[in-house]
């Protein structure tokens, strides 16, 4: 996972993470979308296991979860897709995004073992409190699955330090209070908050919730390691199609050294 982040930073100044709700709008479109996003330079991809009560997700992702569940998408379907795309796109780090009920139903040990066998290298569980995560973290460490815990603008400094310590993959810095999807404006105070978290963390720091524009991403360079663009990508795939969304993601970061060399006049 860290290799993928460093590649994004060295080429574009910051890593880029996006998202797929597996089964929305269909698994075949997920495969097409992931391929296009990888080609567009996305460094990390969340694969979301559909869940009936995705408490951290806004209306767009909640709807996507409902559609995926209605079509019968199962945990095994997500694992099958993961095994396929991780083989096809070895330069992309794939991260499981799920809720604890799904993990408990399968069993923590079995679930983590399953995702690792499918090639997934990290996991985000937004509704898992740090106090209840000891066994989960121990199993993830053994299976070499990086953990990503969330820190929010209302998190105390002591709590933020604990979250940074517990996160072995990256720290997910929430750009504002609330659920995913709404627009975000980064105040000076908010940018200082991101910087403090980065100073406390030994692993990369990603910023998400409301990242939409090239200016949003540019404003995070030097403050965060990963720009997280999830809801906007899902919405654009539905409204504009896969190719247009891939082009949008590609446009969010400055042209890197390698890209500039590729496009330099001969």
- Residues marked active site are found at 46, 57
Of the candidates 40, 5, 4, 8, the one whose C-alpha atom is nearest the C-alpha of residue 236 is 40
Is 209 within 8 Å of 174 (Cβ atoms)? yes
| Other CB atoms within 10 Å distance of the CB of residue 102 | 17
Is 197 within 8 Å of 164 (Cβ atoms)? yes
Rama region for 85: left / alpha / beta (φ>0; ψ in -120 to 50; rest)? alpha
Cross-strand pairs, 146: 122
Return phi, psi of residue 48, to 5°.
Answer: -90, 130
Q: Which residue has the tokens 């969304």?
A: 245
* Cα dihedral sign, 244-246-252-254: negative
Q: How far from 112 is each of 4, 95, 123, 129, 230, CA to CA, in Å? A: 21, 12, 9, 17, 23
Q: Per the structure block, which two tokens stand in for 245?
A: 């969304």
* Cα dihedral sign, 48-52-58-60: positive
Q: Which residue has the tokens 């105390």?
A: 156
User: How far apart are the C-alpha atoms of 43 and 12, rounded to whole Å?
Assistant: 11
């Amino acid at each position: 996972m860290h290799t993928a982040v460093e590649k994004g930073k060295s080429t574009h100044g910051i890593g880029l993470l996006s998202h797929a709700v597996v089964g929305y709008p269909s698994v075949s479109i997920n495969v097409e979308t992931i391929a296009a996003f990888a080609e567009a330079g996305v460094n990390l991809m969340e694969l979301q296991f559909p869940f009936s009560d995705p408490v951290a997700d806004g209306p767009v992702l909640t709807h996507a979860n409902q559609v995926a569940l209605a079509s019968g998408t199962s945990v095994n379907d997500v694992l099958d897709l993961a095994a396929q795309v991780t083989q096809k796109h070895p330069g992309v780090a794939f991260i499981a995004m799920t809720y604890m009920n799904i993990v408990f139903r399968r069993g923590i040990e079995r679930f983590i073992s399953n995702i690792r066998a499918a090639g997934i290298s990290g996991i985000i569980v937004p509704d898992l409190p740090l106090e209840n995560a000891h066994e989960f973290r121990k199993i993830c460490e053994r299976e070499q699955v990086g953990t990503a815990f969330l820190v929010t603008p209302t998190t105390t400094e002591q709590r933020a330090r604990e979250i940074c310590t517990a996160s072995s993959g990256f720290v997910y810095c929430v750009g504002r209070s609330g659920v995913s999807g709404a627009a975000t404006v980064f105040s000076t105070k908010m940018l200082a908050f991101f910087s403090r978290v980065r100073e406390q963390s030994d692993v990369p720091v990603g910023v998400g919730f409301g990242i939409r524009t090239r200016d949003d991403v540019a404003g995070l360079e030097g403050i965060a390691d990963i720009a997280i663009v999830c809801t906007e990508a899902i919405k654009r795939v539905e409204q504009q199609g896969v190719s247009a969304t891939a082009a949008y993601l590609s446009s969010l970061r400055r042209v890197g050294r390698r890209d500039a060399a590729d496009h330099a006049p001969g």
